[in-house]
Chains A and B, each alone.
Chain A
Amino acid sequence: MKINTDRWAAFILTLPVLLFLLTFFVYPLLYGLYLSLHSSSKGLANLQFVGLKNYQEILTSGLFWLGMKNTVVYTIGTVGGTVGLGLAIGLLLNSIERGVWIYRAILILPLGMSAVVSGMTWQMMMNPLSGIINYVLQAVGLPTSLWHTGITSAMISVIIIETWQWTPFPLFVIYAGLQMLPQEPFEAAKIDGATSWQRLRYITLPLVWPVIGIALTFRLIGAFRSFDILYAVTKGGPGRATDTLIIQAYQESFSYFRIEYGLVVGIVMMLVTIAMCALLLRRVTRKG
């Protein structure tokens, strides 16, 4: 490929995006940083400079660390659930020859559901009194649960919902990776007498690992900022059982008008996200 270094064209073609992002991302971001260094207790017209006091207060508060704990639990639970199931189903789908198109068309559907509607649907199904899930559990003699309405079961319930909604993502990413694998190493291993477990463990998984890594990273970042399902189903409750950082940031800013909390948490979350992208995604997006 001939290297094309037309700086003028590059400038013209990139300018619209940069101008847009300067106005709607960089400028609000800087304004947010500015606000986060001020106290707005006397209204936004009477800001008082307080330096890093907001950060110090919020980052040492029990509320923040509770939110952090919930966020970590939710992220690990949903990333483990979606990527684990996605890998298992992807391997199964890859080993099937006939009827793949229909399985694919069905398995893709949860991704198209708006998270609000899937949250509402699961709320109906998980209703402790008249929901279908408790009914089925009872019918087969298993213990029922309070699901999203119980303090101890709320977190696992929202993790289940997010896992249902997002498993197709790692599934299809990993399946695409599996479909691209070369056939030769598998045939060679078969001739050498490798069992199917050995082929999976020593050929398939190492070869498809970069793609699993991408699915994992995108899911990690996605789960960390996940808002819709939590907001639709529990709003952080009952009590603070599912109160993740982003739910806190939203509730504190827009329900209790403590905008400092939302700003500080938002900025901390952004820094974490940038670090994750720089560590995990930079290499991926650069190649090609």
Chain B
Amino acid sequence: MDPRTQHRLIETAKHTAMILICLMALFPILWILTQAFKSYFDTIAVPPKIFFKPVLDNFRQVLMKPGFLSSLKDSLIMALGSSVLGLILGTPCGYALARLTYRGAGSVGFFLLITRMVSPIVIIIPLNRVFQIFGLIDTHIGLILAHTFINIGLVVWMMRGFFQDIPESLEEAARIDGCSNIQAFYRIALPITAPGLAATTIFCFLFSWNELMMALTLSSIQVRTSPVFIISEFVGYLAVEWGLLSAAGILTVLPMLIFIVAIQKNLVRGLTMGAVK
């Protein structure tokens, strides 16, 4: 076989394998997407229907279902609130770790890594009690604070990486002109890392939006985020309401799927807290 034909054959095999892998990655997402557009009898049909008449009933019913829209609203408040608070608290520390040499910097970094890695179960039980005492249980503010805890280590480590990426000469020039380190941080470095801030915000938003354990234990009646709503509303009679469940699921994950594709350039950095760029 001449080398060109052989090369073409190998390329075709590679793309075929890749397409099969992509289908496996995509299949469950396509599956709830189609289930969401099926009529009640089509969702439970045996054999499962690949071709069917699409209907919008499930979406109509889910949107009218008490609590669904307010769960999306609660998720939005949580995700926005905890992202913003996490960035406000964490970005300065990320800058300090990137630019300043001080005793204990390594320990601060490691401590922040631990807060990110350890399961929140270890603080949820005591936090539940503390929140009850301070009236924070089942409130927006309480859950925003809890989700900020989940994201703060990520913010510091990610922003540290973004600050290290920018050349130090600008800040040095500013310091020669009489800027303090803190002024150099918010006047010079912060505006330059705007894309990094945006990527970090999206990550925080995503993690908060999808978070289950804290949302389940520190709220769930007055404040009910979307994962909690789905798990408590559909789990009992799952076998009957597949169409509704799918519609609710799709509406919940669609914005996140768009987000994750939008941040793919910074995906690796965000998921490894800056360990791999």
Q: Within the assembled complex, what's the spacing in Å between the Cα atoms of A214 and B113? A: 14
Contacts of B252 in A (CB 8 A): 114, 117
Contacts of B115 in A (CB 8 A): 21, 25
Binary contact track B15-53/A, C-beta < 8 Å → 1, others 0:
101100110111011011001000000001111100000
B148 at the interface (CB under 8 A from A): yes
Contacts of A168 in B (CB 8 A): 25
- B267, A108: Cβ atoms closer than 8 Å: yes
- Segment at the B interface, from A48-56, A76-84, A183-191, A262-270: A262-270
Contacts of B149 in A (CB 8 A): 20-21, 24-25
- B28, A164: Cβ atoms closer than 8 Å: yes
Contacts of A96 in B (CB 8 A): 11, 14-15, 18
Q: Give the number of A-B contacts (CB < 8 Å).
A: 303
Q: Given contacts A109-B261, A117-B32, are A13 and B125 in contact (CB under 8 A)?
A: no
Contacts of B156 in A (CB 8 A): 17
Contacts of B164 in A (CB 8 A): 288
Binary contact track B139-176/A, C-beta < 8 Å → 1, others 0:
00000011011001000110001001000100010000
Q: Given contacts A4-B101, A5-B102, A172-B268, are A16 and B122 in contact (CB under 8 A)?
A: no
Q: Within the assembled complex, what's the spacing in Å between the Cα atoms of A25 and B17? A: 46
- B18, A9: Cβ atoms closer than 8 Å: no
Contact residues of A: prevailing secondary structure: helix
- A92, B18: Cβ atoms closer than 8 Å: yes
Counting contact residues on chain B (CB < 8 A from A), the size range is 35 or more
- Interface pairs (15), CB distance under 8 Å: A10-B102, A13-B92, A17-B152, A110-B25, A112-B253, A113-B29, A115-B227, A124-B242, A214-B275, A225-B121, A265-B121, A266-B121, A266-B122, A266-B125, A278-B110
Chain B interface (Cβ < 8 Å from any Cβ of A): 11, 14-15, 17-18, 21-22, 24-26, 28-29, 31-32, 35, 44-48, 88-90, 92-93, 95-96, 99-102, 105-106, 108-115, 117-119, 121-127, 129-130, 145-146, 148-149, 152, 156-157, 161, 164, 168, 172, 180-182, 185, 206, 209-210, 212-213, 217, 226-227, 230-231, 234-235, 238-239, 242, 245-246, 249, 252-253, 256-257, 259-261, 264, 267-268, 271-277
6 A-B pairs closest in CB distance: A112-B260, A9-B181, A266-B122, A225-B119, A13-B96, A114-B210
